[in-house]
Structure 1
Amino acid sequence: MFKLTFLGTSSGVPTRYRNVTSLALQTTHNRDWWMIDCGEATQHRLQRIPLSVHDLVGICITHVHGDHSYGLPGLLASASMTGRTKPLLLIAPPAIKAWIDATLLHTELFLTYPLIHIDVDSAQIVHQEAGLTIERHALSHRAPSVGFRFALETSKWKLDKAALQAAGVPPGPAWGTLQAGQDVQLDDGRTLACADFRITETARATVVIGGDNDTPSLLADACAGAQLLVHEATYTEAMLQKIGPGPTHSSVQRVTQFAASAHLPNLILTHFSARYHNPAGMAELEAEARLHYSGELFLARDFDSYELDVAGVLTKLAPADGKPRIR
C-alpha cells in the first residue's frame, strides 16, 4: 500500500555515501507521490530513480533547518523549467514559505504552476482526499518540528459467489456481467442487481514519518494502529549523552525503546550522524537497535526502497537506482 524511497539519510551535512534528508512516499491510491523533507541536492537524487517531479503532488517539510529544506528552491525551479503546470502543495512552516517567496523575488524565478502553501501548524489534519489523510504531530527539537502520519484506505469489491450460488446462479456468463458492474436478466425472468452481489473489501495502512525529535514518545498518538515508523536516530545513546542536554536529536536506544513499547511491527531508522557513515559505525548503531527492538528493523541507506503491503508486512526492495549499497 506504501512504497518508500530514501533520497537522503545523513544528519546535518552530506557525505560521500549519504545525502541530507529527503524521502519519497508512493501509495497504491494513485500515481501521485509525496516528498517528506527536501535537503540540498534532492533534485539530483531524483534523476537517478523512476519518479517524475510532474507526478509530485506535495512536499511536507518537518522543520526549517537547512538539511531538511535547502533543496526546495532548485527543485521548484526545475519543475517549472520542465513545464509543470499542475498545482503543488507545500505543507511547511510559515518561515519556509516566506523564504521561498523571497527567493522567487530576488532570483527572478517565475513558477509555471501554483504553489499552494499549507501552514503545518494550521490544524492537525493538514491534507485530506479520498482515501488519504495526512496529520501533523508536534515534536521536540531546537526548532519547532513535526512528524507526519499518512493514513491510507482503499476499497475494492468482488462478486459474492456464495450469494450467487445460494440464489441458484451457477458460474457462467451472468457472473461475468455482474463482475463488469451490470445488472443481469435471467432466463427465468429474475433480474439480478449487481449491487446485491458485491462484497466490499477495505484495506488500511498507516505510516508515521518523524522529523528531528529528541522525544520519540511524542509520537505515541500518531503511532496508534500504525504499521511503520520512520524516525531519525542520529547518535548512539552514549554519544548523545556526551553532546549534552537540550532539545536536539534522538538516539538509537530512545527510538527503539519507544517502538517496542508502542508495539510497532516495523521500524526504519535514518538521519545518521556523519561519524557513523562507515561499516563499523553502522554496525554499532544496529547493535544498539537490536538490544531494544525485536520487530522488523532496517537502517536506511540512500536509494533504499521499501514496500508496506496490505497485511502490514514491510519488504526491502532492490535499490531504486539499481546499484548495490556499500555503507
Structure 2
Amino acid sequence: MLKLTFLGTSSGVPTIRRNVTALALHTTMNRDWWLVDCGEATQHQLLRIPHTVHELVGICITHVHGDHSYGLPGLLASASMNGRKKPLILVAPAPVKAWLDATMLHTELFLTFEIIHIDVASQQLVHRQDGLAIERFPLSHRAPSFGFKFSFEKTTWKIDSDALRARGVPPGPAWGLLQHGKDVQLEDGSTLLAAEFRSEHVERAVAVIGGDNDTPSLLAGACRDADILVHEATYTEAVLQKVGPGPQHSSVQRTASFAATAEVPNLVLTHFSARYDSAEGMAEVEAEARLHYQGTLLLARDFDTYELNAGVLARLAPAPRVK
C-alpha cells in the first residue's frame, strides 16, 4: 500500500554514492506523493524516479539546516518552469519560509503556483485529507527539528462471490452494482441487498519519519501504532562518543534500541555520515543495528524503493551502482 523512495541518504554533505536528505512517500491509492526534506540537488534526483513535480502534493521540512532544505528553491523553480499550476503545501519551520521568501525576492523567482505554508510548530495535526493525516512531533537537535507521522487509510468494498454464486448469480453487472452499494432486483422478483453481499475492508499504513534527533524516544508516542520507522543513524555509538554531543545526532545503537523497545516491526536507517560510505562502513553500521534490533532492518540507499504491504516491508529496486 505504501511506498518510500529515498532520494538522499547522506548526512551533512553528499558523497559519490549518496545525496543529502530527501524522501518521497506515495501510495497505491493515486499518483499523489509527498516529499520529506529537500536537500540540495533533490530536483536532479527526481529525474531518476517516475514521480513528477505536477503530482507532488506537499513538502515537509524537518528543520532549517541546509542538507534538508537547500534544494527547495531549485525544485520550486523547476516546477514553475514545467508549468505547474495547482497550489503546493509546504509544512516547514517559519525560518525556512522566511528564507525561501527572501531567496525568491532577490533572485526574481516568480512561481506559477501558490505556496500554502503551514508552520510546523503551530499545531500537531499539520494536514488532513481523504485517506491521509500528517502529524508532527518535536525532536531534539541543535536547531528546532520535527518528525512526521503519515497515517494512510484506504477503504474498499468487497462482494461475497461465493454467496452470490450459491444464489445462482453469475459474475456480471449485478456484482458491480452490489459492490457499489446498490440493491439488485433479480428477474424472479427477489432482491439482493448490498448490505448482505458486500463487506468493508480497510487498509492502513503508518510511517514515522524522523528528522535530525539525538533522542529517538521522543518519537515513542508517534510509534505506538507505526508500521515503519525511518530515522537517522548518523554515527556508530563508538564514533558518537568521540564526536561528542555537539552535533546532536543519534547513533545506530540508540536508534535500533529505541525501535526494539517501541516494538516497531520495520526500521529503515538513513542519514549516514560520509565516513561510512563504503561496503566496510555500511557493514559496521548493519552489524551494530542487528545487535539491538531483531525486526525487519534495512539500510537506505539512494533511489531504493521500499514497499509496505500488510505490515511487511520489502526493497523493490536496487540502488544504482556508481562505476
Q: How does 1:1-327 map to 2 (within 5 A)?
A: 1-161=1-161, 164=164, 169-172=167-170, 173=172, 174-175=174-175, 177-179=177-179, 182-246=182-246, 248-309=248-309, 311-319=310-318, 323-324=320-321
Residue identity matched to 1:316: R
Query: In the TM superposition, what whole-angstrom CA distance separates every residue of 1:163-191 from its partner, at most 9, and x where no partner exists?
Result: 657xx722325445534654322233223
Letter aligned with residue 314 of structure 2: T
In 2, Cα distance between equivalents of 1:182 and 1:133 = 30
Shift of 1:245: 2.5
- What amino acid does structure 2 have at the position aligned with 1:96? V
Please give the alpha-carbon distance, in whole angstroms, between the structure 2 residues aligned to 1:102 and 1:266: 40
The DSSP-based 3-state class of the residue aligned with 1:3 is strand
Deviations 1:26-73 (A, max 9, x none): 112321100000000000011111110110000000000000000000
Distance (Å, rounded) in 2 between the aligned partners of 1:242 and 1:134? 36
- The unaligned stretches of length 5 or more in structure 1 are none
Q: Per the alignment, do residues 217 and 325 of structure 1 end up closer, same or farther by CA in structure 2, a change over 3 Å counting? A: farther
Deviations 1:111-160 (A, max 9, x none): 00001100001110000011100000010000000000000111101113
Determine if contact 1:120/1:136 at 8 Å carries over to the other structure.
yes
Question: In the alignment, is the contact (CA less than 8 A) between 2:46 and 2:52 conserved in 1?
Answer: yes
Kindly indicate whether the alpha-carbon contact (under 8 Å) linking 1:73 and 1:100 is maintained by their aligned counterparts in 2: yes
Q: CA deviation at 1:17?
A: 1.3
Indicate conservation of the 8 Å contact 1:301/1:325, yes or no.
Answer: no
Structure 1, residues 209-259: CA drift from partner, whole Å, max 9, x if none?
000000000000000011100000000111111111346100000000000
**Distance (whole Å) between structure 2 residues aligned to residue 69 and residue 59 of structure 1:** 10
> 2:96 corresponds to which letter in structure 1?
I
Amino acid at match of 1:319: P
Superposition CA RMSD, Å: 1.7
Alpha-carbon distance in structure 2 between the residues aligned to 1:157 and 1:325: 46
Normalised by the length of structure 2, the TM-score is 0.95
Percent of residue pairs identical: 70
- Structure 1 segments (4+ residues) deviating >6 Å: none
Asked if 1 retains the 8 angstrom alpha-carbon contact of 2:17 and 2:322, the reply is no
SS at match of 1:53: coil
Following the alignment from structure 2 to structure 1, what is the Cα–Cα distance between the partners of residues 50 and 318? Answer: 11
